[in-house]
Structure 1
Amino acid sequence: MLEMLTLAALIAGTWAGPIEPSPSAMAELEKATTAFDEPNCPAVLESVNRLKATPDYKQNDWVRRVLLEFSALCLSQSSQESDKAQAYAEAMLASDMQGSGDGVWGVRLDREVRTKDWPAAVTSFERVAAERPLYLNRVPLAWLNYIDLQLRRADQTALRRRYLALFADSSYWPEEPGGSTEGFRYRYALLLADAGEQEKADAIARLLTNPSLLMSLSLDPRFRPVLGDDLNLRAVTERYLTQLRTQVGRFPNAIRPVIDVAEHQRMLGRPQDALATLRTIEPAIKGDAPLSDRDDNVIWWWDQMSRAHRAAGDVPAAVAALRTASAIKEGNAVNVSHTINLANLQLNTGDPAGAVETLLPLAGAGDGTASPYGVMQIVGVRGCASHRLGRQAVADADLAYARAHIDDAPGTLTQLQLCRGDLDGAAASMIARLENKDQRHGALEELSTFNAPPNTLPRDPVVAELGKLRARPDVQAAARATSTFRSRASNTAL
């Protein structure tokens, strides 16, 4: 995550101390500067070590700060643990000095997160938010979300609350295409509600505009008084779409804002509009245009093209788009996410044999190629496809795996049971999820109904089985005991 400073930022400011830097110190700093710009960190560190032995280092704060920053930034790139520890120590000193740059804060935060020193990391983030909010806005969202996930997994609730409060605040706004505070605000509202501070939680909930997050929050009875019993998701989505279009103008050379607009057009039942939106940047996607987030989002542009084609009823085009996405490697490895997405699309559109074949490169995904959640998605698609193909031994093995690893992806077991027509088993797993505080939201969303895409494609058999599950009195009673699920009949869903 480290952000290297530009050289001008590193040596900015004026010297301060009893005496001005000596000519020899300034000459050595110029050598270090040239080496840093190449970049040539070994040469930088040689200059730093020479200068640390001079009176200038001891007597002049500006010289000391610049040398500490050079040292921290270069040592942090080393593969040696001792160098990384020294880089952190240098960054700690430099970050407390007047005029220090953002780069040493990057070294400091990176080390604290990598070593899982959560109290130090959260305290550092609080200082960054107070002292250099513009830098906080530039920190990648993926990294910030990763930290929140780690805090949750470490059961650091008090620290997580302090952390989320920083990003739920109106002073924070990520400078990233498609970036938003909404995910942080949603999670912060839930933490406040869990702590019994519903009034504060409601105040955060009122700031949300994302329809998916609002829908999820509306399933929680604690938020019904502030969100209402008849949340009009279509109206919410139309307003949010207007908001998303401003992001396209703000980041004209980015992919993510275009994807977000297309996604919500599709959610509103307008797949042709979604396709038209995506095609506005198709020449840039297929060419060599310098799109600012190409590396992160070109795959997701193809994914969204597939979703829009499917919603419009064109399965061959949907499959072709996902084949293109899945062929784009992640590093030097198989693209796990989109290979699974392609197999799932094939399964849901009547080609279980194709789904099984697509998943073959992921046969060893349990060795760490995929996350535990990803392995469960493979098991879910392969297990259902194998059942439909009559390969019962494989189907049974995948069902057993899903049952044994249910916490990795609770919905997978329910989906496999529905695929096999085991309504009693599906009801039991669904009720267990409804009774589990951490799994309840996902279960309620699965039980909610939404308008079908405007095409004439045959629906996957699991859709009909889910309808039967939804109608069971035992499932409805379990849902009512915790909240309720949404229905098209209430005119509150898309």
Structure 2
Amino acid sequence: MRSIWFLVGLLLGAGAAQASITPQSPPQTISSDIAASLRGKLVQSAILARQGQLGAAAAMLDSIVNSDGFMLLPEPERYLALTLDGTIALENGRYDAAHGLLVQASHYDEADDAVWSARLRAAFVLYNYRDAALCVATLSRRWPGSMESVRSNAIYAIQRELAKHGNDAESLDMLQALFDLKWTDEDGEPSGLWRELARLLIDKGDLSRAKAVATRIRSARVALSMRVDKRFDPITQAAPQAFDVDRLMTAEIAEAQTRMKATPGLLEPRVHLINLLLSTREYGRALALADEAIEKVQGSQDAKPYLDFDEQYIWLLNARSDVLEGLGRWDEAAVQLARATRRPENGELNVSQAINLASLYDSLGRPDKALDAVAEVGPLSDFGRMQLEGVKLRAFLQNGDAAAAAKSVAYLREHRIDAIATWQNALLAQGDIDAAADVMVERLDNPRWRSDALVAAQEYADVPMTPVKQKIDALRQAMLKRPRVQAALAKVGRVERFRFAP
């Protein structure tokens, strides 16, 4: 983002240029008097900012942009005033004010990628995902190089929230801009985004463009979700070889291995490969990859032997726990996850691994340990809070604590839209197969929830399960066999058997 000091320099330069002009005659109108006064304040605000008095500078800028005479200033000066005021507000955490100012600034012809990037940052912090999507689309089309500084997880969060609230027009615009840009994430093609773009294009009747989008799907899991969903039949049935999930998974693993070898200083490519090998149940190979990295960390003189150590090491430990679970070594898996929970997540108390550990303890029939694992966690998203209440509910049910369980159920029911599958699983945990079946039908009927529901209904390879998990899986199978669920499945999709782990 353009720095405050750069803007200050522009304003002071403009002020010096104005001062160097010798007036031929005194101002003739009240309007020119007002404009001259505001211009003087504008230069003074820049001086205050240069002196580090950002609060005083912001107050003066606010008075300028909110004054009745603001429009009397020349357009370049109005633009600089809005941009500097918005930039200072953003840096000071006044996000509502910053967003409003930056939206105004972005409407000027002088607006550049710095202004739009700052607007994106403010919109994202304010959970204004529709405006964030507009910013992403605009940056992608007008200043494609600026997208290198936009984190991929922000893009995914924006799309997730747009889909959650049915903002299809905004999704289509953003995704089409990213596709035209040939945008990729850390793992290559963002196949999940391209699936959503293809779906939106099919809904619009633009089949030719939808097919072009589908050619860039590289994920076997995404391809699986498309071939079992009848909405994608115009694409998948026309080119079945392109959606051969076994072929795609083989290619995906080979590409991930190549990338891991090409980036030895990063953990993320290794974690990604391990997770792919979990899908194909190549547990020995996955365990070796995890152990190799852990040994490097433990034997290194460098506190952070990988460039992305702070962000990715907890996920390496998480992946190793998943591998041990796949091998049926559940106690070892729990010990591994417990170690991961001691490490911070995004600089805060750990959330993800703590919830995953509690879930594992639930499946091992150790409810007290599950509750201990989540006794203290960091900041939670709406989705994360649903996962937390889900693991707590299962622990309360195992402990026979009806009152505590009722509180978790009440929260899960009220916030079901934040994670509908979690609500369905909560009903299964209570043994309410019929209610869970009703939710499954609802998910299949809802275009936004359908894909995940269809993926969950498929048949997968057998993997080791604890007795608790076996019981829940039996309830899930009984739910899927309900006639109304079978009818809903047949209406919108199909069930196949895959060699992947569920």
- CA 1:168–1:332 in structure 2 vs 1: closer, same or farther (change >3 Å)? closer
Cα distance in 2 for partners of 1:322, 1:121 equals 35
- Structure 2 residue aligned with 1:220: 229
CA contact (8 A) 1:434 1:443 kept: yes
Paired residue type of 1:182: S
1:154-233 aligned at under 5 Å gives the runs 155-169=166-180, 171-174=182-185, 177-178=186-187, 180-228=189-237, 231-233=243-245
Q: List runs of 5+ in structure 1 lacking aligned partners.
A: 23-31, 50-57
Report the equivalent of 2:258: 246
TM-score of the superposed pair, with normalisation by structure 2: 0.74
CA distance in structure 2 between the aligned counterparts of 1:342 and 1:119, rounded to whole angstroms: 35
How much does 1:205 deviate? Answer: 2.0
Contact 1:95/1:104, CA 8 A, preserved across alignment: no
| Corresponding residue to 1:380 among 390, 395, 398 | 390
The amino acid that maps onto 1:148 is Q
8 Å CA contact 2:311–2:346 kept in 1: the answer is no
**Deviations for 1:9-62, whole angstroms, at most 9, x for unmatched residues?**
x99xxx9xxx9xx9xxxxxxxxx9xx99xx97869x89xx9xxxxxxxx9xx9x
Residue 275 of structure 2: which of 263, 285, 292 is its match?
263
Assess if the C-alpha contact under 8 Å between 2:281 and 2:500 holds in 1: no
How many angstroms does 1:213 deviate by?
Answer: 1.5
Cα contact 1:486–1:493 (8 A) shared by 2: no
Query: Following the alignment from structure 1 to structure 2, what is the Cα–Cα distance between the partners of residues 452 and 250?
Result: 34
Counterpart residue type for residue 273 of structure 1: R
Opposite residue 448 of structure 1, the aligned amino acid is Q
1:62-141 correspondence runs (5 A): 76-80=90-94, 84=98, 88=102, 92=106, 96=110, 103-113=114-124, 124-141=135-152
1:89 and 1:394 mapped to 2: Cα distance? Answer: 46
Which of 298, 309, 316 matches 1:294? 309
Q: CA deviation at 1:184?
A: 2.2
> How far off its partner does 1:319 sit?
0.8
Contact kept in structure 2, 1:434 and 1:482, CA below 8 Å:
yes
Question: Quick check: 473-482 or 86-95, which moved more?
Answer: 86-95
CA distance in 2: counterparts of 1:126 and 1:7, whole angstroms: 28
1:448 aligned partner: 458
The amino acid of 1:414's aligned partner reads Q
**1:79: Cα distance to partner?**
3.9
User: Is contact 1:348-1:460 (8 Å) kept?
Assistant: no
Q: CA deviation at 1:209?
A: 0.9
- Structure 1: distance between partners of 2:97 and 2:431: 58
Over 3 Å counting, the alpha-carbon distance change for 1:288 and 1:96 in structure 2 is same
Tell me which of 349, 361, 365 is aligned to 2:376.
Answer: 361
Distance in 2 separating the partners of 1:424 and 1:388: 21
Question: Does the C-alpha gap of structure 1 residues 170 and 81 become closer, same or farther in structure 2, counting only changes over 3 Å?
Answer: closer
Aligned to 1:411: 421
Residue by residue over 1:347-394, the C-alpha shift from the partner in whole angstroms, topping out at 9 and shown as x without a partner, is 1233233223323336xx9xxx43332232223222223323333343
Structure 2 distance, partners of 1:422, 1:114, is 39
Paired AA for residue 292 in structure 2: T
CA distances 1:245-288 after superposition (whole Å, capped 9, x unpaired): 23324433222111000111111111111111123322454551
How far does residue 445 in structure 1 lie from its aligned partner after superposition? 2.0
Single out whichever of 119-128 and 276-285 deviates more from structure 2: 119-128
Q: Deviations over 1:289-326 (max 9, x none)?
A: 25332332222112111101111222122112211222
Q: Is the 8 A contact 1:434 1:478 kept in 2?
A: yes
Identify which range, 394-403 or 296-305, moves more after superposition.
394-403
- Pair 1:268–1:120, CA change in 2 (3 A): closer
Using the TM superposition, give the Cα deviation of residue 211 of structure 1 relative to its aligned residue in structure 2, in angstroms.
1.6
Post-superposition shift, 1:470? 2.8
For residues 94-144 of structure 1, the C-alpha deviation after alignment (integer angstroms, 9 at most, x for no partner) is 9837xx7x5444224334555677776555544432343222133111222
What is the deviation of 1:435?
Answer: 2.5
CA distance in 1, matches of 2:103, 2:337: 47
2:64 matched to which residue of 1?
Answer: none
Aligned to 1:461: 471
AA at the equivalent of 2:92: S
- Across the two proteins, how many residue pairs are aligned to each other? 454
Tell me whether 345-354 or 214-223 shows the greater mean CA deviation.
345-354
Are the counterparts in 1 of residues 117 and 135 from structure 2 also a CA contact under 8 Å? Answer: no
- Given that 1:95 and 1:105 are in contact with CA atoms closer than 8 Å, whether structure 2 keeps it comes out as no
TM-score (norm 1): 0.76
The residue number in structure 1 matching 2:153 is 142
Rounded to whole Å, the distance in 2 between the matches of 1:92 and 1:421 is 54
Whether the 8 Å CA contact 1:69–1:94 is kept in 2: the answer is no
Checking the alignment, whether the CA contact within 8 Å between 1:87 and 1:107 is kept in structure 2 is no
Matching residue of 1:315: 330
Q: Distance in 2 between matches of 1:342 and 1:171?
A: 38
Give distance in 2, aligned partners of 1:420 and 1:86: 47
Note if 1:423 corresponds to 2:438: no
Q: Please, which of 356, 370, 384 is the counterpart of residue 380 of structure 2?
A: 370
Amino acid across the alignment from 2:447: K
Contact 1:450 1:493 in 2 (8 A): yes
Q: Could you tell me which residue of structure 1 aligns to residue 37 of structure 2?
A: none
Conserved in 2, the CA contact under 8 Å of 1:399 and 1:416? yes
Tell me, what secondary structure is at the counterpart of 2:202? Answer: helix
